[in-house]
Structures are given as C-alpha cells and as structure tokens.
Amino acid sequence: MEMKITVSCPTPNRCTLLILVLFSFAASPLHASLSFNFYASSCPTAELIVSNMVRSASSSDPTIPGKLLRLLFHDCFVEGCDASALLQGNGTERSDPANTSLGGFSVIDSAKSVLEIFCPETVSCADIVALAARDAVITAGGPAFEMPTGRRDGRISNAANVRSNIVDTSFTMIEMIRLFNSKGSSILKACAHTIGVAHCNAFSDRFQMDSKGNLTLIDTSLDKAYAKELMKKCPSGSSASKTVNNDPETSFAFDNQYYINLLGHKGLFQSDSVLVEDERTSARVEAFANDQETFFRSWRDSFLKLTTIGVKTDDEGEIRQSCSFAN
C-alpha cells in the first residue's frame, strides 16, 4: 500500500495529513463479495457523482487529494474499510487525537447528499470514501483504474482501536512490518509520501537548533541542507498547526518525486528514510525513483488490496443515510 506510509499521531499534534503504503497481501486481491460496476443498475451515476465532487473540491483546495487519501488509510486500518472513521460522537474513532487532523469529510458528505437524492439508501459511505480516494489520485495526476464496490457501512467505531492500528512517523522498519503483517500483508514493498502536508512536530525531532541558530542533526540520515530549510520553516516554538509539504518539489502532484527525494536523503519522515537504508526496501525505492510507471502499477495493485481490508458486506453492515451517524 503506500500510499505515504506516513503515518499518524501517537500524540495529539504529531500527525501527517496523508499516509500511503505499498504492501503485498497474502490474501486474494479482491473481496469475494465486491464487484466491478456494482451500482450499474441501482445507481449508474454513482461513480460519476463522486468523481465530480472530488474534482470540484480539489480545484478550490489542492490539499483535498492528500486529505482524502489519509482518510481512507485511517478508515481501513482500524475497523476495515467501512467508513467507521466518519462516525461522530464521544468515543468514536473520529474523536481520537490521532484523527483530529483528518480532513476531506465535507467532500464525502457532499457526495452522499447528492447520491441520497438520486439513489436513496443505495450507495454506502464506505464505497464513497474508497472511490473518492481513487479519484483524488487521478485528480492529482496519478493513474486511473477501475475498482470494485459493494462495501457496506460499519456500525462500530471505537477510539480505543485507533492508536494501535496507525503508523507513527518515528516508526522503525520492524514496527511498520509488524503492523502491516497484522493487516494481512506479507512483504512491505515501499513507503512514501507523495502528496499532502505534515505538522512540524511530526519530524522536528530529527534535528535541533542551539541558542546561536546552529543546526545539529539528530537523525544523520537527513540531508543537512534540507534540514536547514525545514528548520527555517519550523523554527523552535512554531504553532502546532504549522505545516510543510511532504514533497517540496512537486507538492500537489501524485508522482514518483518523493522516491527521488528519498535517494537524496530528503525524505521528510524518519519512517520513510529507513526505506532507503533497509535492504528489504531499498531496491524498490530505487525502482520507483527511476520509473514512474513502475510506481504507478504497484500503487494501483496495492490500493486495490488496501481497499478490501475488513470489508463489510451483506448483513455485516448497513447503508447509512448520513455518513456521520449510524442508522
């Protein structure tokens, strides 16, 4: 999957806005109950409506694609791809500090509102989240592909399940592999943040500045010149809401530039930098950096597998009338 293995917030403000992860699953890539063109008869314009909403929102706010991708990851890795991350209320996943910086909800809600007009009680919020993330990638210049639908919405959303299922930017390779194995993945292929932004305190522990303004690298794998740029953007005492782009070169384009950055030791997160140093992932980082089409193919396959984690079908779930509340 990588969609940006970036990662999330073990503490309230230590969050990135997107995490992508490329991984390989031992299970079949498609859930048996999902199918292509699932809404062909019941709501033939469903995918078009979602796509139009994503394009419209992204045209006015270029951070939307990254937010939608991160929303999908946080949803799928906790209770499965069942829109449980959208449910509001005390003690829900959405209320956990690790999820307080999630965004893109308005796009999902707008699409759902339109779909309820044309196809009431037909299209699940879980499918909208998955389709919106796919379309977000396309909008940002990534590969287009068909994806199966038919997910149903979960009824359970528990904040206590969030922290143990989301990656943090300080994770080691072993910690990341352990988490992905728990989700049914077999071999971690690669991770990278290609779009999105990150809060300063998600990476500021990789360097420090003394009283005279001199830089000291805590993480020596980080390029010193890049660290100086980050230090200027995130000086000591910066607001918790201060962010920087994950990819300083092509900030809002879904491409392979972040892998090129990694090879130059300019990966924003420690959890990404270890990919270059570890023999299990270094070759794939180089392959993605050298050939964008290779990255796109791997992304497509990994995304399709990601969106089948813990899918609810038939009586396991429902079709919500509002994505924020169970029926």
Angle subtended by helix axes 105-118 and 46-60, to nearest 10: 150
Element containing residue 209 per DSSP (H, E) = strand 207-209
Element containing residue 283 per DSSP (H, E) = helix 282-290
CB atoms inside a 10 Å sphere around CB 297: 13
Is 162 annotated as ligand-binding? no
Is 197 annotated as ligand-binding? no
Cα–Cα distance for residue pair 124/132, rounded to 1 Å: 12
Is 135 annotated as ligand-binding? no
Catalytic residues: 74
Is 164 annotated as ligand-binding? no
Cα dist from 220 to 208, 273, 274, whole Å: 12, 10, 12
CB-neighbour burial class of residue 28 (10 A; exposed 0-12, middle 13-18, buried 19+): exposed
Evaluate whether 96 touches 78 at the Cβ level (below 8 Å): no
Is 50 annotated as ligand-binding? no
Tokens (6 digits) for 20: 């992508």
Cα dist from 22 to 45, 114, 281, 307, whole Å: 30, 33, 11, 12
Is 84 annotated as ligand-binding? yes
Evaluate whether 282 touches 276 at the Cβ level (below 8 Å): yes
Is 193 annotated as ligand-binding? yes
φ and ψ at residue 186, rounded to 5 degrees: -105, -50
Is 250 annotated as ligand-binding? yes
Is 194 annotated as ligand-binding? yes
* Strand residue runs (E) in 77-173: none
| Annotated binding-site members for Ca(2+) | 75, 78, 80, 82, 84, 93, 194, 247, 250, 255
| Annotated binding-site members | 75, 78, 80, 82, 84, 93, 193-194, 247, 250, 255
